[in-house]
Structure 1
Amino acid sequence: MTRISGRIVTPDAVVRGHLDLDGDLITAIVPDESAGDDMIVPGFVDLHCHGGGGHTFTTGSSEAARAAAAFHLAHGTTTMLASLVSSPFDLMRSAVAAFQPLVADGTLAGIHFEGPYLSEVRCGAQNPAHLRDPSMTEIQDLIKTGEGAVRMMTVAPELPGALDAITYLAEHGVLAAIGHTDATYDQTHAGVAAGATVATHLFNGMRPPHHREPGPVVGLLSSTIVCELIADGIHLHPGMLAFAAGSAGPGRSVLITDAMDATGMPDGQYELGGQDVVVADRVARLAHNGAIAGSTLTMDVALRNAVAAGVSLVDAVHMASTTPARLLGLADRVGALRPGLRADVVVLSADLTLRTVLRSGKG
Structure 2
Amino acid sequence: MKAIINGKIILEDCILDTGVVIFDKNIKSIISTENFKRTSNDNIEIIDAKGNFVSPGFIDIHIHGAGGHDAMDGTLEDLNVISKSISEHGITGFLPTTMTMDKTKIHVALDAVKTAMNSTLTGAKVLGAHMEGPFISEKYKGAQKKDYILKPNIDFIKGYEEVIKIITLAPEEDEDFKFIKWIKANTNITLSIGHTNADYSTAMEAIKNGITHATHMFNAMTPLNHREPGVVGAIMKSFVSAELIADKIHVNPAIFQILVDVKGKDELVLISDSMRAACMEDGISELGGQKVFVKNNSARLEDGTLAGSILTLEKAVKNVYENTSLKLYEAVALASSNPSKEINIYKHKGSITQGKDADMVIFDKNFNVIQTIVEGNIVYTKLEP
Question: Contact conserved, 2:74 with 2:105, CA < 8 A, in 1?
Answer: yes
Judged with a 3 Å threshold, the aligned counterparts in structure 2 of structure 1 residues 4 and 129 are, in CA distance, closer, same or farther, namely farther
Judged with a 3 Å threshold, the aligned counterparts in structure 2 of structure 1 residues 351 and 162 are, in CA distance, closer, same or farther, namely farther
Q: Which runs of 5+ in 2 are unaligned?
A: 35-48, 379-385
Counterpart position of 1:259: 274
Map 1:2-81 onto structure 2 (within 5 A). 2-31=3-32, 37-81=51-95
**Residue 112 (structure 1) aligned to one of 100, 114, 130:** 130
Amino acid at match of 2:131: F
**3-state secondary structure, aligned to 2:226:** coil
1:156 and 2:156 are equivalent in the alignment = no
Map 1:1-363 onto structure 2 (within 5 A). 1-31=2-32, 37-105=51-119, 107-139=125-157, 141=158, 144=159, 146=160, 148-161=162-175, 163-171=177-185, 172-287=187-302, 289-310=303-324, 311-363=326-378
Summarize deviations over 1:128-165 as a string: whole Å, max 9, x none: 111121122213x2xx1x36111111000111437211
Summarize deviations over 1:94-148 as a string: whole Å, max 9, x none: 2222221111236310011110111111111111111121122213x2xx1x361
Counterpart position of 2:42: none
In the aligned structure 1, how far is the partner of 2:172 from the partner of 2:154? 16
CA drift at 1:229 = 0.3
Summarize deviations over 1:281-330 as a string: whole Å, max 9, x none: 2210011x110000001111111111111232122111100011112111
Bigger drift between 346-355 and 216-225 goes to 346-355
**3-state secondary structure, aligned to 2:299:** strand
In the aligned structure 1, how far is the partner of 2:50 from the partner of 2:109? 45
Aligned CA RMSD, in angstroms, stands at 1.7
Summarize deviations over 1:30-71 as a string: whole Å, max 9, x none: 3469x9641111000111000001111123222111111121
Summarize deviations over 1:225-248 as a string: whole Å, max 9, x none: 110000111111111122113321
Question: Contact conserved, 1:16 with 1:31, CA < 8 A, in 2?
Answer: no
**3-state secondary structure, aligned to 1:117:** coil
Question: Contact conserved, 1:155 with 1:162, CA < 8 A, in 2?
Answer: no
Please tell me whether Structure 1 or Structure 2 has the larger radius of gyration of its CA atoms: 2
Judged with a 3 Å threshold, the aligned counterparts in structure 2 of structure 1 residues 4 and 128 are, in CA distance, closer, same or farther, namely farther
In the aligned structure 2, how far is the partner of 1:162 from the partner of 1:150? 23
Question: Contact conserved, 2:277 with 2:310, CA < 8 A, in 1?
Answer: yes
CA drift at 1:353 = 1.9
Question: Contact conserved, 1:134 with 1:162, CA < 8 A, in 2?
Answer: no
In the aligned structure 1, how far is the partner of 2:140 from the partner of 2:161? 31
In the aligned structure 1, how far is the partner of 2:292 from the partner of 2:260? 30
Amino acid at match of 1:100: K
Summarize deviations over 1:153-197 as a string: whole Å, max 9, x none: 100011143721122222311111100111111111111111111
Identity within the alignment, %: 32
**3-state secondary structure, aligned to 2:231:** helix
Amino acid at match of 2:338: T
- TM-score in terms of structure 2 length: 0.89
Question: Contact conserved, 1:282 with 1:296, CA < 8 A, in 2?
Answer: yes
Question: Contact conserved, 2:223 with 2:233, CA < 8 A, in 1?
Answer: no
Question: Contact conserved, 2:22 with 2:30, CA < 8 A, in 1?
Answer: no
Bigger drift between 149-158 and 11-20 goes to 11-20
Question: Contact conserved, 1:175 with 1:198, CA < 8 A, in 2?
Answer: yes
In the aligned structure 1, how far is the partner of 2:92 from the partner of 2:20? 18
Bigger drift between 243-252 and 9-18 goes to 243-252
| Aligned positions, number | 357
Q: Which runs of 5+ in 1 are unaligned?
A: none
CA drift at 1:356 = 1.2
CA drift at 1:29 = 2.4
**3-state secondary structure, aligned to 1:137:** helix
Bigger drift between 301-310 and 16-25 goes to 16-25
